[in-house]
Amino acid sequence: MCLHWRWLIWALVWLQVALATKWYGGGMDFNDPSAWLDDHLPCAQDLVVFPEYYPALLPLPEDISIDGLVFPREGAILLAEESTITFGSDKQPSCESEEKKAYLKPPKSSKWFDPGTWTDKSKEFSTFTPELERIPCDDEQVIIKGHGPLSFDLENVQYLRLGQLILAGSSISKTYLEQLISRDLGQFLFYNAEYVQVEYYRGELCGCHKDFERLLEPVCHNVQEQCETPHCLSPVRPLGSCCLICGAILSTPTTHCTEGTRKEFVAQISNLISQESLKDQIGLHVDFVGSQQFGNCLQAVVTDRHKYSERSLEFLQQNEHNWNKTGTTLKVSGRPYNPNVSFSSIVLILFCMALVGLVSVVILAHFMPENPYLNRIPQWIHDPRRWRWRHLGLRLRRNLLFNRFDNGGAGGGSSEGGASGVDRLGIMAYDPESGEVRERAFDNPMFEQRGALEEAAKESQEQDEIPKMETGDLDATSVVDEQELTEINLDACGADTDEETI
């Protein structure tokens, strides 16, 4: 008889689930390696060790085979009626550990007003779904299941409003939930619940929450840092949303919040989208929003599915004649733009372009000194050999490694007549037999040498012959020191001995 009643309860539960339900998976499952230190699951011969302080309620699996349990000083476990724990079972060769212990990781708490805590298996949340609709609504059923640690932070929760609570497969009534919160067991399940009031609603509300404005601050406190910067000018914020979006919002006041009215409005907009073949480009979200201050309204959020291109805005403006009702308002965002490109970024790009252009002009002035326009640039700017720091007494020396690339034959090596402006190069080597003098530079064909060769010919006629170096014998005067020879008498050393000295 009890079995039939149990199946009847589960049938009623799944019937309500089909309407509106928020799920909580329970975090890291007991049988998940990530819930244990070093990812080591307990074997049949292992001792399960809890942390010394375990601020959560842990529902144990239905079947466990371990060697023992080391409970924490503070914590709680939930054991179902059909659960079985086997101690000292047979040894399994495939699962062994040297320490014979498995350590649970400390639990993590989940905030009740955090949209990331809950999931909706009947539908997927889109990026433009308001955050207040991602947490349990005031008349929704909440199912908490799984074999992971359960711990909820009721920070900023004044009223715990929901339609029904299913905890570990059991339906929790409003009276029992109020008693559970005040007990020691409830302190591990719910934190910051000293002044929380429990309220149950069953389809009596318009919209997800009784008064969404009251929940905006506590909910947005958990998701404000996760909001992406909208890529448009003048973004809009839907009612019940924490983040600004790019798109359009159509709001129509209403007095009767029925599901039929919402479906009719959704069908009207969806047909217009289908007629223009925009299903893959435009996203739509329609729901009631209730407010004690501004009344109830039916809100439609229309956005671009992919990159914002004002397609959703154009769609609503083209069909504006279909929403000509009293009190209907249309809010639209501005044109698209990239928020990552600021004024400082543009200034930096222009500065880099100007710097590259300046360096290019200096390089051209260095290699094209005959250009009438580039010749106006002072030579000390593009010639590093003329850079001086007089106050430091420092002057850059010429790099002899690259002297052979200078145009030594164009102007006879004269800095005044040469086209390259290179100082005269000194003698590198002298051959006394042939009288040939080798210089450090060669006639570089990269330089324009017409005018330079003419000037070099004139100078060669005026210059005297280069005196040849003569060689001769060294004089006595060139000798620095004379070495005196000292005579050593070997007979004196060998007077005392009969041996012959060499």
Q: Which tokens go with 85?
A: 């724990």
pLDDT at 66: 87
pLDDT of residue 481: 46
Six token digits for residue 26: 């329970």
In angstroms, the CA 382 to CA 386 distance is 9
- Candidates 332, 285, 338; CA nearest to 313 is 332
Q: What is the pLDDT of residue 314?
A: 85
Q: What is the per-residue pLDDT across 67-87, written as a single tens digit (0 to 9) for each?
A: 889 999 999 988 888 888 888
Amino acid at 60: L
Q: Which long-range contacts (CB under 8 A, 24 or more apart) does 340-347 make?
A: 340/229
- What confidence score (pLDDT) does residue 51 get? 93
* φ/ψ of residue 460, rounded to 5: -65, -30
The beta-carbon contacts of 390-398 under 8 Å, at least 24 apart in sequence, are 398/423
Q: How many helices and strands in the chain, by DSSP H and E?
A: 10, 24
The angle subtended at Cα 137 by Cα 134 and Cα 142, nearest 5°, is 90
Q: Is the pLDDT of residue 198 over 90?
A: yes
pLDDT above 60: residue 12: no
Pairing between β-strand 329-332 and β-strand 159-162 as defined by DSSP bridges: unpaired
Mind listing the pLDDT tens digit for each residue in 376-430?
Answer: 777 766 666 666 656 555 555 554 444 555 554 444 444 444 444 444 444 455 5
Q: What is the mean pLDDT of residues 296-306?
A: 89
Distance CA(169)–CA(10), nearest Å, equals 9
Give the pLDDT band (50/70/90) at residue 8: very low
The pLDDT assigned to 185 comes to 87
- Please give the pLDDT value at position 384: 62
User: Looking at the predicted structure, is the pLDDT value of residue 317 above 60?
Assistant: yes
Q: Which range has the worst mean pLDDT, 14-23, 81-90, 295-304, 336-345?
A: 14-23
The SS3 of residue 152 is strand
Can you read off the two tokens belonging to residue 95?
Answer: 């699962």
Domains of the chain, by residue range, sit at: 16-226, 230-336, 343-381
pTM, full prediction: 0.63
* Max mean pLDDT range (228-237, 356-365, 478-487): 228-237
Are 425 and 403 in contact by the 8 Å Cβ rule? The answer is yes
Q: What is the pLDDT of residues 88-98, one digit of tens each?
A: 777 776 777 77
Cα–Cα distance measured from residue 352 to residue 113, given in angstroms and rounded to the nearest whole number: 48
- What integer is the mean pLDDT of 129-140? 90
Pick the CATH number of 230-336 from 1.10.3470, 3.10.590, 3.30.70, 3.30.2030: 3.30.70
Q: Where are the beta strands (DSSP E) in 254-362?
A: 282-289, 297-304, 329-332
Query: What local confidence, expressed as pLDDT, does residue 238 receive?
Result: 92
Residue 415 · residue 459 · CB < 8 Å:
no
**58, exposed or middle or buried, with CB in 10 Å at 0-12, 13-18, 19+?**
buried
Q: Given pLDDT bands bounded at 50, 70 and 90, which one contains residue 207?
A: confident
Cβ atoms 138, 205 nearer than 8 A: yes
Least confident interval from 225-234, 288-297, 463-472? 463-472
CB 303 within 8 A of CB 316: no
Has residue 148 got a pLDDT over 50? Answer: yes
